[in-house]
Amino acid sequence: MNTTTRIEAVNSMLAMIGASPVSSLSGSTSADVAMAESTLDEVSREVQSGGWHYNREYEVSLVPDDSKYIYLGNNVLRVDVEPANSTDTSSTTSSYIDPVQRGNRLYDKKEHTYEFTQTVKATVIYGLDWDELPQPIKTYIAMRAGRIFCDRTVGAGSNQSGPHSFNMISEHQALVAVRNWDAEMADNTIFDHWDVYRVINRTGQPNSI
C-alpha cells in the first residue's frame, strides 16, 4: 500500500466542500483546485516549521563562502544555534557570536555583521517536498489543510455540529497521532528538554533563532 499522494490529499480537500475530484494537478485547473494546492503548501510549511524528528538535523556545519557569508538553502525553515558549552573563542558554538537567520543568510547580532570567519554548527529544520514526508505527517497536513480550505471556502459558520466541528475533531485526532509517532521515533527523554539541559550544563539563556 502506497502512502498518500499529493493528488489524493487535494481530492480529500475538495471532497470537504463537495467538489468533484480531479485526475491531474498539471495544466489548467479550477480555482478550487488552485486554492486547495496553495493551502496544502501553506500548511505543509507551517507544520514542518515546528520541527519534528524526521526533518530536524543536529550539528549541521554551516560554512562561510568566499565572501564570508553563510547562505541557507531554500529548504531551510529554521536554524537554531546551540548554546555555548565552552569559553573558547574559536568554538563554533561560542557565546562570542550570536547568529540569527535573516532572509537566506545568517547574521551575527553580536558583531552586527553578515560576515563569519568560522564554521557555525547548528540544529536545522528542513522543509521537505510532499513525496519525502512520512505518512503520519502527510495525514495531519492533509487534515489541517482540508479544514482550513473548507473554512475559507464554505465558512466555519456558527453551527458547531456542522462540517467545521467534524473537521476540527479529525484534525485533532491526526495531531495526537503524529505527536505520538514523533515521540516514538525520537526516543525523547527528560534530558532532551532545554530547561533540564540548562541546569545540567549550567549555561545561560539559549542562543536560538
CB 165 within 8 A of CB 127: no
Residues 97 and 120 placed together within one structural domain of the fold: yes
Distance CA 86, CA 70 (A): 22
140 and 166 in a common domain: yes
Under a CB-based contact definition with an 8 Å cutoff, are residues 76 and 126 in contact?
yes
Indicate if 97 and 155 belong to the same structural domain.
no
Q: Is the residue at 45 inside a domain?
A: yes
Residue 66 lies in a domain: yes
Q: At which of 127, 145, 176 does a domain end?
A: 127
**Which DSSP state fits 202?**
T
What pLDDT score does 90 carry? Answer: 52
The strand ranges marked E within 39-89 are 56-62, 76-81
Structural domain includes residue 149 = yes
Structure confidence at residue 86 (pLDDT): 34
Distance from C-alpha of 203 to C-alpha of 198, rounded to nearest angstrom: 5
Q: What pLDDT score was predicted for residue 199?
A: 57
Q: Is residue 207 in some structural domain?
A: no
- Domain shared by 60 and 111, yes or no: yes
pLDDT of residue 75: 96
Residues of the chain with pLDDT under 70: 83-95, 156-163, 188-209
Same domain, 134 and 161: yes
Specify if 209 maps to a domain. no
Host domain of residue 177: 6-50+128-186
The per-residue pLDDT for 97 is: 82
**Do residues 115 and 156 touch, judged by C-beta distance below 8 A?**
no
Q: How many domains does the chain have?
A: 2
Same domain, 137 and 115: no
- 120-141: per-residue pLDDT in tens? 999 999 999 999 999 999 999 9
My answer on whether 35 and 123 are in the same domain is no
Q: Considering 103, 127, 151, which residue would you say is the last residue of a domain?
A: 127
Establish if 198 belongs to a structural domain.
no
What is the model's pLDDT at position 164?
73
CB atoms within 10 A of CB 186: 13
C-alpha–C-alpha distance, residues 24 and 35, integer Å: 15
Is the full-model pTM beyond 0.75? yes
| pLDDT at 29 (0 to 100) | 83
